[in-house]
Amino acid sequence: MSRLRINKMGVLSVAKIQAVIGLVVGLIVGVIYALLILIYTLLGASLVGSDARMAVGGGGVVIAIVALIGFPILYTIIGFIGGAIGALVYNLCARMLGGIEMEVENI
């Protein structure tokens, strides 16, 4: 077994990976929120009455579409910025304290 130490991380590399992870999580969260909004809109509109159903239902569909599009975009941007900041902080800490040590094995 050999030991490795991570002394520095590529800021852009980490930021890109975090952005993709944020995109995937944002898609999942966006779908869940959109479904919950549509369910709430349909159930709430059916309890209020047929006249309010058109007004409330249309707004719920718009909000659900905004959630489907907005959450992935927002999570991607936050992931990219957070990944870049995290890599910068890691690089500063690794310079002062030493990097993370890992034990690896060739198979």
pLDDT in tens, 53-82: 555 556 778 888 999 999 999 999 999 999
pLDDT in tens, 42-51: 776 555 555 5
By CB atoms closer than 10 A (0-12, 13-18, 19+), residue 18 is buried
pLDDT for the residue 47: 57
pTM here is 0.79
Give the CA dihedral 68, 72, 77, 78, nearest 10 degrees: 100
pLDDT for the residue 52: 52
pLDDT for the residue 55: 52
| Mean pLDDT across 13-37 | 96
| Mean pLDDT across 94-100 | 92
